Amino acid sequence: MKSKFLWVITPVLVLIVPVVMFYLYKKNVTAKEKMEQLYQAGLKSIYDKDNIFCAEAQLAFYDSVLKTSLGDAHKIIVARYFKAVTLLKLGKEKDAIEILKPMNERMKTDTDQLAANIAKYLALSYLRLGERNNCIANHSMASCIFPIKGSGIYTDPYASQKSIDVYSTILEKNPDDLESRWLINIAYMTIGEYPGKVPAAWLIPGLDQDTSSYKVNPFVDMAGDLQLTTSRNMAGGVIIDDFNNDGYLDII
């Protein structure tokens, strides 16, 4: 009886096993193909002003608004403001400053939110310009490591000083602006004048001290020693993976 059962079931298994294996294989291949399609679709740039990652499309939109807004003073001011913000996203700090600086001068006595935002983005543009002129163009192993000290202190203080001037005006109007208070302390730190030169009313003490009960040694910037600084930019992160499947880790 047992041998008869095996005689009946064996051909069935011979047929079923390959079918099941083929099904699983096909399912796996289909899943990989689907993932590849999704990945490739994700690589396509969506040139649309509503795409928050496509600043180029946003810039083109605000330029078109400026061309068609002749005579509408308020609309022009708003479009110029958003154009400057977009230029800052694109890493064009000088271009952003050229727009925001005269706007800030004309509106420095205004008390509305737009005037406040223009001042804040002008100060931020100067901070970013200082970072480019020092941490990027004149990089050292201590650059961009908080608290900023030693060789991380800027050798070109111009842009940081400009940001301090703007933040001072902002804080004179609104002493409770915690964001501007934090950033003016950082600006002073970048030029080696924290905490001594920070006005007492705006000083945040202890930023250069380790107050944690857990002592953590700072990271050491090894990029220069590893000759990984040939493509230095304003990006704030790194990805390490074997992207091309050659067995070696790729650093982006």
The 10s digit of each residue's pLDDT in 214-228 is 887 777 777 777 777
Asked if residue 1 has pLDDT above 60, the reply is: no
* pLDDT score of 44: 72
- What average pLDDT does this structure show over 50-56? 89
Kindly report, residue by residue over 149-165, the tens digit of the pLDDT. Answer: 999 999 999 999 999 99
- pTM across the whole model: 0.75
Asked if residue 94 has pLDDT above 90, the reply is: yes
Which residue in this structure is represented by tokens 């600084």? 229
Q: Which structure tokens are listed for 197?
A: 């030169």
Residue 241 backbone phi and psi in degrees, to 5: -165, 165
* pLDDT score of 15: 66
Compute the mean pLDDT over every residue in the chain, rounded to the nearest whole number.
86
Q: Which structure tokens are listed for 84?
A: 């400057």
> Residue 27 — very low, low, confident or very high, per pLDDT cuts 50/70/90?
confident
* pLDDT score of 196: 96
The residues pairing with 241 across neighbouring beta strands, listed in sequence order, are: 250
* pLDDT score of 79: 96
> CA-CA distance, 23 to 19, in Å (whole number)?
6
Look up residue 151 and give its DSSP letter. Answer: G
Percent pLDDT > 70 in the chain is 88
Which of these, 183, 87, 190, 86, lies nearest to 130 by C-alpha position?
190
Q: State how far Cα 179 lies from the chain centre.
A: 17
- What average pLDDT does this structure show over 235-246? 81
